Amino acid sequence: MANSTPATDLYLDLVKRVLMRENFERPLREPEARGWKGRAVKLGQHALAPLGAKLVSSRPVGFAGETMLSRARLDNLQACVEQVLLDGVPGDLIETGVWRGGATILMRAVLAAHDISDRTVWLADSFEGFPSEDRREQAIDRQVDFTAGMGDDLFRVDAETVRRNFSRFGLLDDQVQFLVGWFSETLPGAPIDQLAVMRLDGDMYASTRDALEALYPKLSIGGFVIVDDYNFHEPCRRAVDEFRSANSITDVIHPVDDEGVFWRHST
C-alpha cells in the first residue's frame, strides 16, 4: 500500500530537494573572487559573520547533486512507484544507467517511506561511464556526443561512490542490489524475477535496446516503463520505437517533461 501522509510527502520532498541540491547555494570563495574582488568578498564575509549570514555565489551548483533528473522526472518516478504500491502490482524496481545513484536513492526512499520490505531496487550500470567509441557496435551511437561536451569523466562514477551516496541518506541495505557491468552482459542473466517499474537512463541506442529486450518480458501488467531520454537523444527514441513496433506495444506514451516519457504496461 502507498497511503501518503503529510510526513511521507515531506520526507520524499526533502529527499528530492537534496538529491538535486535545489536552491542550495555555494559559499563564495577563491578562486571565484580573486584580487580586489577577493578582498571585498573577505571583508563582506567578516562583516556578515556576526549576523550568521554569508555571501553566496549566484552561479548554479551544477552537477553537485546525486542526480541529473529534473524535478518533474523525480516527481514522475515517485508517482509511478507509489502507483504500483497502491495497485499491488508485483515486482522490483530497476534503473539502467544510475550515474551517482540519485533516482535509485529516491526509489529506495519511497519504499522506506511506505514501509515496504519485500521489493528490491536494482542498480544497473558499468560504473565506469558510457561505452567507449570502440565498444559502440551501432553507427548511430558513434555519431552522438552523449556527454554533451561535459567530458567522459563526469559520467565515471564507481559503485563504491554510489554505495556511499546511499549511506548518506541512510538507505543502503540488502533491498539495494548492484548489477555491475555493460547492460548486454549483466541484464540478460540478472537474478530478477519480476519488475513493477523499469527506468531506462542509458541514453544510447544499444543501451536502451539491451535494457528493453532483457527486462520488458519481466514487467508485470500494470507496471511502468520510464525512458529518460526519449525526447532528448534520437538514438534512444529510435530504440524505443523499434522495440514497441516489433512487440506490438500500443500503450500510450506520456510526456514527463521535454525529455522524459513513460507508459504503463497494459497487456
Ligand X SMILES: C[S@@+](CC[C@H](N)C(=O)[O-])C[C@H]1O[C@@H](n2cnc3c(N)ncnc32)[C@H](O)[C@@H]1O
| Nearer residue to ligand X within complex by CB, 102 or 223 | 102
Alpha-carbon gap, residue 83 to 89, rounded angstroms: 8
* For ligand X, the closer CB: 73 or 114: 73
For the bound state, the minimum distance from the C-beta of residue 250 to ligand X, rounded and expressed in Å, comes to: 27
- Tell me if 54 sits within 8 A of 48, measured CB to CB: yes
Which three-class secondary structure state does DSSP give residue 24? coil
User: How many residues of this chain bind ligand X (CB under 6 A)?
Assistant: 22
Among 102, 223, 235, 260, binds ligand X (CB under 6 A): 102
Among 97, 223, 235, 260, binds ligand X (CB under 6 A): 97
**Which is closer to ligand X, CB of 85 or CB of 200?**
200
Give CA–CA dist 71/77, Å, rounded. Answer: 10
Which residue(s) pair with 199 in the sheet? 95, 226
Nearer to ligand X, 119 or 233 (CB): 233
Q: How do the residues of the chain divide into helix, strand and coil, expressed in percent and rounded to 5? A: 40, 15, 45
User: Is 38 or 181 the residue whose CB approaches ligand X more closely?
Assistant: 181
| DSSP assignments along 204-242, one per residue | SHHHHHHHHHHHGGGEEEEEEEEETTTTT-HHHHHHHHH
Q: Residue number with the shortest CB distance to ligand X?
A: 97
**90 touches ligand X (CB under 6 A):** no
Least distance in Å: CB of 156 to ligand X?
A: 7
As measured in angstroms, the least distance from the Cβ of 120 to ligand X is: 17
Residues lying near ligand X in the complex (CB under 6 A): 67-69, 95, 97-99, 102-103, 125-126, 129-131, 155, 182-183, 201-204, 207
